[in-house]
Amino acid sequence: MQKRKLGNSGLEVSAIGLGCMGLSFGYGPATEKSDGIKLIRTAFEHGVTFFDTAECYGPFINEELVGEALAPFRDQVVIATKFGFQDGDSKNPLDSRPERIRAVAEASLRRLKTDRIDLFYQHRVDPGVPVEDVAGTVKDLIQEGKVKHFGMSEASAQSIRRAHAVQPVAALQSEYSLWWREPETTVLPTLEELGIGFVPFSPLGKGFLTGAIDQNTTFDKTDFRNVVPRFSEENRKANAGLVDVLGRIADGRGATRAQIAIAWLLAQKPWIAPIPGTTKLHRLEENVGAAAVELSAGDLAAIEAALQQITVVGDRYPAHLQKRVDR
């Protein structure tokens, strides 16, 4: 597995990381702990050194899982976690008060069985707390040795600039994929200018780009895709054209749709490191295999031309979650 540097921060990670959320939260029942540990350790064996979690995944149980799984090789990996919700529950209001950030850091260190957090993200920008105060609090934690790098998630270019002026932002984590390209308008140019890395989550469109989901798919009652407009039966049917295009390109390269989708992200910038998540070992191997798929300029042009003919329909979040995306 190749390594990449997240911007000018010096933070080096595997080109493809592992988003660990789905092992505990969001996509149906939590994975058995032993299975989750096996999957995380298998990822490490395949060269993955970048693991993403958050206190609110569970809440709390995902950090514990990640901490236990990575304990044998803690010094060889980068662990990212997040703060930003009241009492660590994403159903609650945002909370990035300095005292809350400090409390989360201490609790996350315990759950992760470590003495430092490699990358500490603000999960969502909190309009009730100046972003300068957030950056300043993380700066203090960095000076104390409890945190190595500061990150933000779903932040606007303006908020990134304001925070970066107080404490350099190592990485932004936001959704980015072949079916959600909004970051290309103002966020990616800002990151490039400031030397900040980019960590796309949901690089496979929450599973849709793999081709494993169609209009007839039913989700577990605890799967949050049930409330995502883009995953309504009608919109899944309308968006099938994108999956068809991916399939044609993948077949021509002897790859899978997922591998083309991830390889496309890797080809955009050398400081991009996507974090696909999965609960299945065969999907993990498929995703990691994308690092070996190199798309030529011709491939990228063909993908771009095909995408120009497709309109993806449906919002990526329901209205109450969309309000939490920084503008």
The whole model's pTM is what? 0.97
Whole-number pLDDT of residue 270: 98
What order do you get walking across the sheet with 18-19 strand by strand?
18-19, 50-52, 78-83, 117-122, 147-153, 169-175, 197-201
Does the pLDDT of residue 327 top 90, yes or no? no
pLDDT in tens, 77-127: 999 999 999 999 999 999 999 999 999 999 999 999 999 999 999 999 999
The CA distance from 257 to 248, in Å, is: 9
All domains of the chain in start order, with CATH: 3-205+269-293 (3.20.20.100)
240 Rama sector, left if φ>0, alpha if ψ -120 to 50, beta otherwise: alpha
Does 57 participate in catalysis according to the annotation?
A: yes
Averaged pLDDT for residues 234-243: 93
**Which residues neighbour 149 within 8 Å (Cβ) at sequence distance 6 or greater?**
6, 9, 11, 118, 119, 120, 142, 170, 171
* DSSP, res 196: B
**To which residue do tokens 């010094």 refer?**
75
Task: Kindly report, residue by residue over 276-313, the tens digit of the pLDDT.
Answer: 999 999 999 999 999 999 999 999 998 999 889 889 99
pLDDT of 151 above 90: yes
The answer, yes or no, to whether residue 189 has pLDDT greater than 90, is yes
130, amino acid identity:
P
Phi, psi of 88, rounded to the nearest 5 degrees? 70, 20
List the catalytic residue out of 57, 121, 176, 317: 57
Neighbours of 155 (CB within 10 A): 26
Q: Residue 232 has what pLDDT?
A: 95
Which residues are CB-neighbours of 41 under 8 A, at least 6 positions away? Answer: 69, 72
pLDDT of residue 300: 94
Lowest-pLDDT choice from 44-53, 67-76, 210-219? 210-219
- Residue 177's alpha-carbon distances to 41, 191, 202, 210, 266, in angstroms, are 26, 17, 7, 12, 11
CB-based contact 213:242 (threshold 8 Å):
no
CB atoms under 10 Å from CB of 258, counted, come to: 25
- The tally of CA atoms less than 13 A away on the side-chain side of residue 7 is 23
Q: What is the pLDDT of residue 96?
A: 98
**% of the chain exceeding 90 in pLDDT:** 95
What is the average pLDDT score of the chain? 96
